[in-house]
Each structure stands twice: as structure tokens, then as C-alpha cells.
Amino acid sequence: MPSKKSLHIESSGQLCIYCGACVGICPLNCIYLDETRITFDEKICTRCEICVKACPVGAIEIG
Amino acid sequence: MGQDRRTDVLVIGAGPAGSMTAKWAAKHGAKVLMIEKRQEIGSPVRCGEGMSKEWLGEVGIKPGKWINVEVEGARIFSPSEKVFEINEKHAGNEVGYVVERDGFDKQLAIDAANAGAEVVLKTAAVGILKENGKVVGARVKQFGETFEVRAPITIGADGFESQVGRWAGIPTNLALKDMDTCLQYRMTNVDCDIRYCDFFLGKVAPGGYVWVFPKDEGLANVGIGVQVSQIKTMAEARNYLDAWIAKHPGYAKGKKIDMVGGGVSISPPLKQTVADGMMLVGDAARMIDPLTGGGIANGCIAGKICGEVAARAVEANDASAAFLQAYEKGWRVRLEEKLYRNWLAKEKLCTIQDATFDKIVDALQGVKLDKLSVHNILKAVHEKYPEVTKEFEAFL
């Protein structure tokens, strides 16, 4: 199986403003917002990159 | 809390739609528990803070200290910055008051509590409870402990990033063209006009607009919404907003004192907002006006209907989806036609080129419309630029 690209959500507060835009748009419902922490489910995420576009401040990167 | 418990109506999320639902369910005699994951209701704010006002009486909200400014109307700026003024009565559901949104949300929660609802903070829903295909409450987490709240009626009022609907199997996923990603600065030392909410259309904000909502003399919310399907690179919403500010000296000289963001659905109405034992309301039910991006009025209007139906269902001891159709029908009669019409208008607006926007706004300058409707606007445009209205024949 080809390995997935890496997805990084900068949620330490340097970029992320905890707005939830990525959570709401994720078609697989695998991004979670817990007040000041955003996590995603590595296994479910297909790296569709929709959250990268939805993030207004560029806190989500795919490599 | 801390232990498993029971209530009649469990409301998940204490934003305006949740608080209105809780208030009206409690007022009609139901035992209501409203949970909010944050420690403070209304904060942090994720909103442009503009709203219309004619609907407040209908749902029992009294004007209060949460009003910053009462504006006279809206100004629509075309890409070459021709201006069209609209009186606030006709300007859609983002224009009337500019509010202190956290104060507004707190007031609605106070109203819910005073009507008899219990409000519990720092408590997040982590899943729903289902029995024989029916929703019978939620698993919630508070201070690191997970426990169950059982209720015949569970309300998903958990906002744009709603989980409750998804957990219950109601499709709430959005197409990329049906979402705007938004960013806003509060700026001081800017040349805003306290009489108007301003909207800037065209390529400055593809599939959305730049807004300036005045909070006080020299103080304004300056924000942007961009359609996600039109975004190509990272941080584009911020880049568009920064570019707009840089091009406007009256704002470029300002200082940013706050920054908020968020997602806004600009979708057609959901096909389904109830299931056995469950109702969705507000942004969670995609009730935001797809043309203006305003969600408070619709969330509150639907919230009142939702609360009333919840109380009746408790009284009748019938939480079936069939009984809850009264809510589904009620909010649709009140809101659906306009939501659908404005979604169609949004679809069209997103395809309009800057030159066409300029012609439309130019044709409307100096025209007195007795009633602001798509039809009247097109009639006025047709007189000056008949070629422009050709592509809008579906609306005539």
C-alpha cells in the first residue's frame, strides 16, 4: 500500500485560531476540535486536502 | 453533574439557536438541560456581529446592552467601488444592529436559565446514545469524566462543525462550493461610517464579500468570506483580506486588536433535520442564509419552533420522527423558501464577473426601489444594461 502524505495541523496557536472551519468541512468527520487543540484521525484521513483550503490562516499543511 | 442522569430535553450547544430552543422548551413545561463545551458562553466570538432586527419580537428577544450600533442601512460596493445604498429594512439579515455577540449569546442563555432550563458549562457531547435506532441522549465529558445523559429528545445545536447530525446519520456534509471560509480583524483607527454596514463584492472576495461592520466611531469589524471551491493555496482567505486592507488607506492605517475566523455554510437547506428522538437547529442544520451568511435570525426563529415542539413531544410522550415533523414543517414554512431562493441567487452571484457587478451597481445608483427584490433590481438594471439581465432570465 502506498504510504500517505504527511498532514500537519499547527494547533499550538502560532497559526491556528481554533475556528473549526476544517472540522465542519471534513467529509470524513475525522478532525476534532477540543477548545485549544485540534487533532485528526490518521487512519481515516485520506489526505483529500479540503481542510487545507478551508483553513483561513494556512495552519494545515500537507507534505 | 458527574453522574449519569435523565432529563426531558437535552440541548447540545449554548449558542443562540440552542438557548432559544432551551428557553421555549422550558417555558412550555419541559425539563431542559443545555450543555456547552466552552467555559464561557459566547466566547470566543466567531462572527461578523451584524444582524437584522425586525424578527427579535417574534421570538421574544428584547433589545439590550449587547447592541453596539444601530445602522441606517447597507452600502454595496462594486469592484470599481460604485456604491448602492439600501435602507436597513430591505438589506437582508446581516444589517440593522452591530452587536457584541458574546453579550448577545449570554443574554439568550440567561433567558433560557430564567425560563427554567439548567445550563452546564465545560461539558462536551462525545457521542449519542442510540437504542432500537432511536436517539435517547448523549455521552458527555466533563472535567475528564465521561457519563450518560438520557433524554427522550436530544437537540443538536452544535454549530457549523456539528457532530450530532453526523452521529445520528443525517447527512450534513457540505460541498466545497457551499462553504465560505471567513476571517475578520477588529480594527481601530479606521475610517468606517457608523451609519452603514459595508459590503465589497467581486474578485476582492471570490464567492463571498469583504465586510466592514462599524462597532463605534473609528472601530469596526473588517472581515472576509471566500468560497472554498475558489481557493487555490494555503491561507488564501487571509491573503485576500490583507490585500483589501492594503488597498484601502482608511483601513491600512488602522490597527488590528482582535482576529476571529470560522466556516459559514452557504448551502441549500438540509432535506432532513429530525430523526427519532432528535432535532437539529441553527448552523448545525445549515440554516445560514446562503446569500448574506447571516445565521443568527434563522437559528433563533427555528429555535423557538424547535423548543415548542420538543415540549409538546415530552407532554405527548412521543419523541418519534413522525411527531417531530411538526418542527420540520414549522421551520420550513417560515424559512425554507427564502433560504432556497437565496441559495439560487448565491449560485448565480458566484459566477458574475467584476465588469457585470459594476454595471449592476451602476444601474442602481439613484434608482429608488420601493421594495428591494431580485425582480425589482433586475428591472432597474434591464433599463440601462439590457444585455446584463439576459443571463438572469430565470429570476424574471
pLDDT recorded at residue B372: 67
Residue B80: inside a domain, yes or no? Answer: yes
The upper half-sphere exposure of residue B223, i.e. CA atoms within 13 Å in the direction of its Cβ, equals 28
B364 contacts B335 by C-beta, under 8 angstroms: no
Task: Look up the ipTM and state it.
Answer: 0.89
**CATH classification of the domain holding B244:** 3.30.9.10
A7-62: which CATH topology?
Alpha-Beta Plaits (3.30.70)
Q: Do B197 and B306 reside in the same domain of the chain?
A: no
Q: From residue B376, give the alpha-carbon distance in Å to each of B42, B54, B199, B232, B362.
A: 38, 22, 20, 36, 15
Q: Is B380 a member of any domain? A: yes
In a domain, B54, yes or no: no
| pLDDT over 60 at A53, yes or no | yes
| Residue A10 touches chain B, beta carbons under 8 Å | no
CA distance A15 to chain B (A): 10
Window 12-71 of B: residues touching A by CB (8 A cutoff) are 37-38, 44, 46
Residue B286 has pLDDT above 80, yes or no: yes
Q: Is residue B55 domain-resident?
A: no
Share of chain B above pLDDT 90, in %: 81
Cβ-contact B286, B259 below 8 angstroms: no
- Residue B259 to residues A21, B20, B151: CA-CA distances in angstroms? 15, 27, 38
Contact B137, B151 (CB under 8 A): yes
pLDDT digits (tens, 9 = 90+) for B342-371: 999 899 888 889 999 899 888 888 777 666
Q: Please state the domain extents for chain A.
A: 7-62
User: Which burial class, exposed, middle or buried, applies to B354 when counting CB atoms under 10 A from its CB (0-12, 13-18, 19+)?
Assistant: middle
Q: Is B153 inside any structural domain?
A: yes
> Are B130 and B142 within one domain?
yes
**Same domain for B106 and B35?**
yes
Contact B263 A19 (CB under 8 A): yes
Asked if B162 and A24 come within 8 Å (Cβ–Cβ), the reply is yes
Q: Does one domain contain both B121 and B241?
A: no
**Do B334 and B357 belong to one domain?**
no
Instruction: Give the mean model confidence (pLDDT) for residues B224-239.
Output: 95
Residue B202 and residue B161 share a domain? no
Look up the domain containing B197 and give its range: 62-98+175-265
Percent of chain A with pLDDT over 90: 54
pLDDT at B380: 82
Q: Which residues contact B364 (CB under 8 A, 6 or more apart)?
A: B84, B377, B380, B381
Claim to verify: residue B115 and residue B165 sit in the same structural domain: yes
Shared-domain flag, residues B168 and B113: yes
Q: Average pLDDT of B292-311?
A: 97
Q: Which of B111-115, B121-125, B334-338, B376-380 has the lowest mean pLDDT?
A: B376-380
Q: Is the model more confident about A13 or about B331?
A: B331
- Quote the number of domains for chain B: 3
Strand, coil or helix: what is B222? strand
Q: What distances in angstroms separate CA B378 from CA A36, B47, B73, B382, one per listed residue? A: 47, 31, 20, 6
- The pLDDT score that the predictor gives to residue B3 is 82
> What's the pLDDT band for A2 if we cut at 50, 70, 90?
low
Instruction: Give residue B1's pLDDT.
Output: 56
Cell 442601512 sits on residue:
B73
Verify that B193 and B312 share a domain, yes or no: no
Please name which of B10, B76, B16, B84 lies closest in space to residue B45, comparing C-alpha atoms.
B16
Assess whether B311 and B189 both reside in one domain.
no
Query: Which CATH number characterizes residue B127's domain?
Result: 3.50.50.60
DSSP one-letter code for B74: E
Coil, strand or helix at B295: coil
- pLDDT band of residue B394 (cuts 50, 70, 90) is low
**Whether the predicted pLDDT of B379 surpasses 60:** yes
Of B44, B174, B238, the CB nearest to A56: B238
C-beta atoms of B238 and A35 within 8 A: no
